[in-house]
A and B are shown apart, each in its own frame.
Chain A
Protein backbone atom coordinates (compact mmCIF):
# COMPACT_ATOMS: atom_id res chain seq x y z
CA UNK A 1 0.00 0.00 0.00
CA UNK A 2 1.34 3.45 -0.89
CA UNK A 3 2.09 5.78 1.99
CA UNK A 4 0.32 8.59 0.14
CA UNK A 5 -2.91 7.87 -1.69
CA UNK A 6 -4.76 10.30 -3.90
CA UNK A 7 -8.25 10.12 -5.29
CA UNK A 8 -9.54 10.26 -7.86
CA UNK A 9 -6.73 9.33 -10.28
CA UNK A 10 -8.51 11.08 -13.13
CA UNK A 11 -11.10 13.80 -13.04
CA UNK A 12 -13.05 15.46 -15.81
CA UNK A 13 -15.10 18.59 -15.19
CA UNK A 14 -17.04 21.24 -17.01
CA UNK A 15 -15.90 24.81 -16.71
CA UNK A 16 -17.35 26.40 -13.60
CA UNK A 17 -17.67 23.21 -11.57
CA UNK A 18 -16.42 22.86 -8.00
CA UNK A 19 -13.63 20.28 -7.80
CA UNK A 20 -12.26 18.29 -4.88
CA UNK A 21 -9.12 16.17 -4.88
CA UNK A 22 -8.36 14.05 -1.84
CA UNK A 23 -5.11 12.89 -0.28
CA UNK A 24 -4.70 10.36 2.53
CA UNK A 25 -1.43 9.38 4.12
CA UNK A 26 -0.32 6.74 6.56
CA UNK A 27 2.90 8.21 7.99
CA UNK A 28 3.67 10.93 10.50
CA UNK A 29 4.26 14.20 8.74
CA UNK A 30 5.53 17.66 9.47
CA UNK A 31 3.87 19.25 6.45
CA UNK A 32 1.88 18.46 3.34
CA UNK A 33 2.34 20.02 -0.08
CA UNK A 34 -0.02 20.37 -2.97
CA UNK A 35 1.81 20.63 -6.28
CA UNK A 36 0.59 21.36 -9.78
CA UNK A 37 2.27 19.90 -12.84
CA UNK A 38 1.29 21.19 -16.27
CA UNK A 39 1.65 19.15 -19.49
CA UNK A 40 4.99 20.84 -20.17
CA UNK A 41 6.29 19.10 -17.05
CA UNK A 42 7.16 21.97 -14.72
CA UNK A 43 6.06 21.70 -11.10
CA UNK A 44 4.59 24.57 -9.14
CA UNK A 45 4.08 24.44 -5.40
CA UNK A 46 0.52 25.54 -4.64
CA UNK A 47 0.33 25.12 -0.87
CA UNK A 48 2.31 23.91 2.09
CA UNK A 49 0.12 23.00 5.06
CA UNK A 50 0.77 21.77 8.55
CA UNK A 51 -2.70 22.48 9.96
CA UNK A 52 -6.04 24.04 9.13
CA UNK A 53 -6.82 25.66 5.85
CA UNK A 54 -5.19 27.91 3.26
CA UNK A 55 -6.75 29.83 0.39
CA UNK A 56 -5.18 31.33 -2.69
CA UNK A 57 -7.52 32.74 -5.29
CA UNK A 58 -9.87 29.96 -6.38
CA UNK A 59 -7.83 27.29 -4.65
CA UNK A 60 -8.45 26.09 -1.10
CA UNK A 61 -6.45 23.43 0.72
CA UNK A 62 -7.41 21.83 4.01
CA UNK A 63 -5.73 19.31 6.24
CA UNK A 64 -6.95 17.17 9.13
CA UNK A 65 -3.91 15.91 10.98
CA UNK A 66 -5.88 13.53 13.23
CA UNK A 67 -7.53 11.86 10.25
CA UNK A 68 -4.36 12.05 8.08
CA UNK A 69 -6.29 13.56 5.25
CA UNK A 70 -6.08 16.63 3.05
CA UNK A 71 -8.27 18.04 0.33
CA UNK A 72 -7.62 20.47 -2.49
CA UNK A 73 -10.66 22.36 -3.73
CA UNK A 74 -10.93 24.40 -6.91
CA UNK A 75 -13.89 26.73 -7.14
CA UNK A 76 -15.27 27.93 -10.49
CA UNK A 77 -12.91 25.64 -12.41
CA UNK A 78 -11.43 26.83 -15.69
CA UNK A 79 -9.73 25.00 -18.59
CA UNK A 80 -6.42 26.51 -17.54
CA UNK A 81 -6.73 24.49 -14.29
CA UNK A 82 -6.16 21.34 -16.37
CA UNK A 83 -3.04 19.74 -14.94
CA UNK A 84 -1.84 16.95 -12.70
CA UNK A 85 -2.23 17.75 -9.01
CA UNK A 86 0.20 15.98 -6.70
CA UNK A 87 0.02 15.62 -2.95
CA UNK A 88 3.35 15.21 -1.17
CA UNK A 89 4.06 14.75 2.53
CA UNK A 90 7.20 15.56 4.47
CA UNK A 91 8.11 12.55 6.59
CA UNK A 92 10.72 14.08 6.76
CA UNK A 93 11.70 13.42 3.16
CA UNK A 94 9.06 14.21 0.60
CA UNK A 95 6.86 11.24 -0.29
CA UNK A 96 4.67 11.84 -3.31
CA UNK A 97 1.24 10.63 -4.24
CA UNK A 98 0.69 9.36 -7.76
CA UNK A 99 -1.21 12.47 -8.78
CA UNK A 100 -4.69 13.34 -9.99
CA UNK A 101 -5.07 14.25 -13.64
CA UNK A 102 -7.67 16.98 -14.00
CA UNK A 103 -9.21 18.03 -17.30
CA UNK A 104 -11.60 20.96 -17.37
CA UNK A 105 -13.60 21.41 -20.55
CA UNK A 106 -15.18 24.69 -21.72
Chain B
Protein backbone atom coordinates (compact mmCIF):
# COMPACT_ATOMS: atom_id res chain seq x y z
CA UNK B 1 0.00 0.00 0.00
CA UNK B 2 1.60 3.25 -1.21
CA UNK B 3 -0.53 5.46 1.03
CA UNK B 4 -1.93 7.32 -1.98
CA UNK B 5 -5.68 6.94 -2.39
CA UNK B 6 -7.54 7.49 -5.63
CA UNK B 7 -11.28 7.46 -6.17
CA UNK B 8 -13.21 6.25 -8.00
CA UNK B 9 -11.38 3.13 -9.17
CA UNK B 10 -13.62 2.73 -12.19
CA UNK B 11 -15.86 5.22 -13.96
CA UNK B 12 -18.00 4.80 -17.06
CA UNK B 13 -19.57 7.84 -18.63
CA UNK B 14 -20.73 9.22 -21.95
CA UNK B 15 -19.17 11.64 -24.41
CA UNK B 16 -19.74 15.26 -23.54
CA UNK B 17 -19.99 14.60 -19.82
CA UNK B 18 -17.79 15.87 -17.01
CA UNK B 19 -16.11 13.82 -14.29
CA UNK B 20 -13.96 14.50 -11.26
CA UNK B 21 -11.17 12.22 -10.10
CA UNK B 22 -9.90 12.52 -6.56
CA UNK B 23 -6.50 11.87 -5.04
CA UNK B 24 -5.40 11.88 -1.42
CA UNK B 25 -1.61 11.96 -1.12
CA UNK B 26 0.51 10.14 1.44
CA UNK B 27 0.48 11.77 4.83
CA UNK B 28 3.09 14.51 4.83
CA UNK B 29 3.52 14.68 1.05
CA UNK B 30 3.00 18.16 -0.35
CA UNK B 31 3.32 17.43 -4.08
CA UNK B 32 0.66 15.74 -6.14
CA UNK B 33 1.23 14.68 -9.73
CA UNK B 34 -1.37 13.55 -12.25
CA UNK B 35 -0.57 11.17 -15.10
CA UNK B 36 -2.62 9.72 -17.95
CA UNK B 37 -2.02 6.25 -19.35
CA UNK B 38 -3.76 5.51 -22.61
CA UNK B 39 -3.24 2.60 -24.97
CA UNK B 40 -1.83 4.69 -27.78
CA UNK B 41 0.15 7.31 -25.83
CA UNK B 42 1.50 5.36 -22.86
CA UNK B 43 2.09 7.22 -19.62
CA UNK B 44 2.14 11.01 -19.81
CA UNK B 45 2.60 13.68 -17.19
CA UNK B 46 -0.37 16.03 -16.91
CA UNK B 47 0.16 18.43 -14.04
CA UNK B 48 1.80 18.90 -10.63
CA UNK B 49 0.62 20.78 -7.58
CA UNK B 50 2.74 21.66 -4.58
CA UNK B 51 1.12 22.81 -1.37
CA UNK B 52 -1.91 24.15 -3.17
CA UNK B 53 -0.13 25.88 -6.05
CA UNK B 54 0.31 24.68 -9.61
CA UNK B 55 4.00 23.82 -9.98
CA UNK B 56 4.43 22.25 -13.42
CA UNK B 57 2.30 21.51 -16.43
CA UNK B 58 2.65 18.76 -18.97
CA UNK B 59 0.42 17.58 -21.77
CA UNK B 60 -2.84 18.59 -20.15
CA UNK B 61 -5.72 19.49 -22.43
CA UNK B 62 -7.64 22.74 -21.93
CA UNK B 63 -10.76 20.65 -21.21
CA UNK B 64 -8.96 19.28 -18.16
CA UNK B 65 -8.23 21.16 -14.97
CA UNK B 66 -6.96 20.33 -11.54
CA UNK B 67 -6.60 21.83 -8.13
CA UNK B 68 -5.12 21.01 -4.76
CA UNK B 69 -7.07 21.86 -1.65
CA UNK B 70 -5.83 23.10 1.76
CA UNK B 71 -5.98 19.54 3.12
CA UNK B 72 -3.65 18.62 0.20
CA UNK B 73 -6.03 16.33 -1.60
CA UNK B 74 -6.30 17.00 -5.31
CA UNK B 75 -9.00 16.74 -7.91
CA UNK B 76 -8.66 16.33 -11.65
CA UNK B 77 -11.67 17.60 -13.57
CA UNK B 78 -12.25 16.28 -17.08
CA UNK B 79 -14.97 17.98 -19.12
CA UNK B 80 -16.54 17.66 -22.58
CA UNK B 81 -15.31 14.11 -22.55
CA UNK B 82 -14.33 12.41 -25.77
CA UNK B 83 -13.80 8.75 -26.57
CA UNK B 84 -10.07 9.34 -26.64
CA UNK B 85 -10.09 10.42 -23.00
CA UNK B 86 -10.65 6.81 -21.99
CA UNK B 87 -7.55 5.95 -20.00
CA UNK B 88 -6.08 5.14 -16.64
CA UNK B 89 -5.44 8.27 -14.61
CA UNK B 90 -2.77 7.98 -11.94
CA UNK B 91 -1.97 10.24 -9.10
CA UNK B 92 1.40 10.21 -7.37
CA UNK B 93 2.71 12.11 -4.39
CA UNK B 94 6.06 13.11 -3.00
CA UNK B 95 7.28 15.25 -0.17
CA UNK B 96 9.43 17.46 -2.44
CA UNK B 97 8.48 20.60 -4.29
CA UNK B 98 10.65 20.00 -7.30
CA UNK B 99 10.88 17.01 -9.53
CA UNK B 100 14.61 16.68 -9.07
CA UNK B 101 14.72 14.38 -6.13
CA UNK B 102 12.42 12.46 -3.87
CA UNK B 103 10.65 9.18 -4.16
CA UNK B 104 7.30 9.04 -5.91
CA UNK B 105 4.37 7.05 -4.54
CA UNK B 106 1.62 6.08 -6.95
CA UNK B 107 -2.05 5.49 -6.36
CA UNK B 108 -3.89 2.51 -7.84
CA UNK B 109 -5.33 4.63 -10.63
CA UNK B 110 -8.81 5.58 -11.82
CA UNK B 111 -9.95 3.81 -14.96
CA UNK B 112 -12.16 6.08 -17.05
CA UNK B 113 -14.22 4.66 -19.88
CA UNK B 114 -16.02 7.10 -22.16
CA UNK B 115 -18.76 5.54 -24.29
Q: Which residues of A contact B111 (CB under 8 A)?
A: 41
B103 lies within 8 A of A48 (CB): yes
Q: Which residues of A contact B44 (CB under 8 A)?
A: 96
| Contact (A43, B101) CB under 8 Å given A86-B43, A88-B43, A93-B58 | no
A45 lies within 8 A of B104 (CB): yes
B100 lies within 8 A of A30 (CB): yes
A43 lies within 8 A of B100 (CB): no
Q: Pick from A44, A86, A92, A96: contact of B98, CB below 8 A.
A: A92
Report the interface size for chain B: residues with CB under 8 A from the other chain.
25
Chain A min CB distance to B54 (Å):
13
By DSSP majority rule, is chain B's interface helix, strand, loop, or mixed? strand
Tell yes or no: B50 within 8 A of A by CB.
no
Q: Which residues of A contact B107 (CB under 8 A)?
A: 42
Q: Which of B10-56 contact A (CB under 8 A)?
A: 33, 35, 42-45, 48, 56
Chain B min CB distance to A58 (Å):
20
Chain A min CB distance to B45 (Å):
5
Interface string of A81-92 (1 = CB under 8 A from B): 000001010101
By DSSP majority rule, is chain A's interface helix, strand, loop, or mixed? strand
Interface string of A29-51 (1 = CB under 8 A from B): 01101010000111111001010
Q: Which residues of A contact B (CB under 8 A)?
A: 30-31, 33, 35, 40-45, 48, 50, 86, 88, 90, 92-96, 98-99
Give the top 7 A-B pairs by smallest Cβ distance, nearest first.
Answer: A96-B43, A43-B106, A92-B99, A30-B100, A42-B108, A93-B45, A41-B109
- List 23 A–B pairs whose Cβ atoms lie within 8 Å, in order of A's numbering: A31-B100, A41-B88, A41-B111, A42-B106, A42-B107, A42-B108, A42-B109, A43-B109, A44-B106, A45-B103, A45-B104, A45-B106, A86-B43, A90-B100, A92-B56, A93-B45, A93-B48, A93-B58, A94-B45, A96-B42, A96-B44, A98-B42, A99-B42
Known: A93-B56, A95-B45. 4 other contacts (CB 8 A): A30-B101, A42-B107, A50-B101, A99-B42
